[in-house]
């Protein structure tokens, strides 16, 4: 099958033939229908986070079950599924205490090093990225990396839920647990930021301030639920937010992955407020907080994949979509083919798109 292969930082992905093994025991083979191009992949391509090459990137995909291993009972061929990198063992302390997104026993869902690799090229292992590898015509996954969904949802929209939407909406609903009537600032109006804005709207925030450097993205943010916008290219967003809210927001979200922005998100809080960092801040960079600010009970916390329990959350997000409360249609800026993946990275860096979705026939 065809896949976009990563050979190392700063190299474009190349379209190559790779082999996929047969599903074992609890594994499933999924025909990829749509695969979103998410910013986190770019972090690895840019070398800000390391991953061993060769590998197949991609971690925001939806498709149809083609084949299942002999112990699989949750899905059957023909089922529509969303994949999620938050594969969970289901029995470690974290899984059992409501935090399967932090599963500490992922090895139980993976093949061991001496097994035949799931993905290979001429007999040599190709590393699977995030237990998924979605930039490929097919995916071989543990069944606990998929959620079954109703088959009347377009799979390109469903793919977005697989990472960006769950990360953004979940950061608001699950990680920060914002309250109705509260005030919110979202730094970064890309795919994840827009999803956070949606989440804030669903949860009943009274003021939702979108912060970005691109006017086009701020316009989109307003369309999707932001009540106010701040153009960070022409003003100090902390000063602006403090003024607009009379002292800071109850909740702020960092949806880019920049140290400086994480610090701004914290400094834009009112006393007692909570800043949630969603973006992946490059390895080696430190977020610096003025020590005395802790005296006012401000909080800084991380969010991983929207603190998801994705088998519970994703069907709910689909309901929100079908009810018109979560606009996924406008979040897809462009559609392309697998071959367009490098162009999709370029457009993302240039701030031209919320999301490109790669479509497979």
Which parts of this chain interact with another protein (CB under 8 A)? 49, 94, 99, 101-102, 104, 175, 247, 257, 259, 262, 271-272, 274, 277, 280-304, 307
Residue 49, strand partner residues? none
Selected catalytic residue, list 35, 40, 133, 182 = 40
Nearer to another protein, 59 or 138 (CB): 59
Residue 94 or 309 with smaller CB distance to another protein: 94
> For this structure, is 80 an active site residue?
no
The span from the first CA to the last CA of the chain, in angstroms, equals 13
The question of whether 103 is a catalytic residue gets the answer no
Least gap, CB of 196 to another protein (angstroms): 15
CA distance 163 to 36: 9
- Least CB distance from residue 76 to another protein, whole Å? 34
Residue labelled with tokens 């827009």: 194
- Of the candidates 35, 39, 43, 95, the residue annotated as catalytic is 43
Active-site hit among 163, 182, 198, 307: 163
> Mapping DSSP to helix (H, G, I), strand (E, B) and coil, where does residue 28 land?
strand
State the DSSP code for 161.
I
Burial class (CB in 10 A: 0-12, 13-18, 19+), 226: buried
Nearer to another protein, 123 or 246 (CB): 246
CA distance 14 to 341: 9
User: Is 57 within 8 Å of 4 (Cβ atoms)?
Assistant: yes
Q: How far is the CB of 270 from another protein (least distance, A)?
A: 9
Considering beta carbons, is residue 71 or 104 the nearer one to another protein?
A: 104
Joined together, the tokens standing for residue 213 give 């450097």
Compare residues 61 and 85 and give the one whose CB is closer to another protein. 85
Q: State the Cα–Cα distance between residues 326 and 218, nearest whole angstrom.
A: 17
User: Considering 59, 80, 99, 198, which one is annotated as catalytic?
Assistant: 59
In sequence order, what are the residues at sequence separation of 6 or more whose Cβ sits closer than 8 angstroms to the Cβ of residue 233?
213, 214
Catalytic residue among 38, 83, 95, 103: 38
95 included as an active-site residue: no
Q: How far is the CB of 130 from another protein (least distance, A)?
A: 12
- Residue 356's nearest CA partner among 333, 337, 338, 339 is 333
* Least distance CB 40 / another protein (angstroms): 10
Active-site residue set: 38, 40, 43, 59, 163
């Amino acid at each position: 099958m065809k896949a976009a292969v990563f050979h190392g930082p700063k190299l474009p992905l190349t379209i190559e033939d790779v082999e996929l093994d047969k599903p074992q025991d609890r594994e499933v083979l999924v025909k990829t229908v749509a695969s979103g191009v998410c910013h986190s992949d770019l972090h690895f391509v840019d070398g800000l986070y390391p991953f061993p090459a060769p590998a197949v990137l991609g971690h925001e995909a939806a498709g149809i079950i083609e084949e299942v291993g002999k112990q699989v009972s949750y899905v059957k061929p023909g089922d529509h599924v969303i994949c999620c990198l938050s594969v969970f063992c289901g029995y470690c302390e974290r899984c059992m205490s409501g935090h399967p997104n932090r599963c500490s026993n992922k090895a139980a869902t993976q093949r061991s090093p001496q097994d035949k690799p799931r993905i290979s090229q001429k007999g040599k292992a190709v590393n699977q990225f995030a237990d998924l590898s979605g930039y490929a015509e097919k995916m071989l996954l543990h069944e606990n990396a998929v959620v079954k969904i109703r088959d009347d949802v377009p799979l390109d929209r469903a793919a977005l839920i697989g990472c960006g939407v769950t990360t953004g909406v979940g950061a608001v609903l699950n990680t920060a647990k914002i309250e109705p009537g509260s005030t919110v600032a979202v730094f970064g109006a890309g795919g994840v930021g827009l999803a956070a804005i949606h989440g804030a709207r669903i949860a009943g925030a009274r003021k939702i301030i979108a912060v970005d450097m691109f006017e086009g993205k701020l316009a989109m943010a307003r369309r999707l639920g932001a009540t106010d916008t701040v153009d960070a290219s022409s003003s100090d967003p902390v000063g602006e937010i403090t003024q607009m809210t009379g002292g800071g927001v109850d909740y702020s979200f960092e949806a880019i992955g920049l140290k400086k922005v994480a610090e701004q998100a914290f400094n834009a809080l009112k006393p007692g407020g909570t800043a949630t960092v969603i973006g992946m801040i490059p390895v080696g960079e430190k977020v610096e907080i003025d020590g005395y600010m802790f005296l006012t009970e401000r909080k800084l916390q991380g969010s991983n994949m929207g603190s998801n329990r994705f088998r519970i959350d994703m069907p709910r997000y689909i309901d929100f979509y079908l009810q018109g409360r979560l606009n996924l249609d406008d979040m897809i800026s462009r559609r392309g083919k697998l071959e367009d993946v490098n162009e999709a990275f370029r457009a993302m860096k240039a701030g031209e798109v919320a999301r490109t979705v790669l479509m497979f026939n």
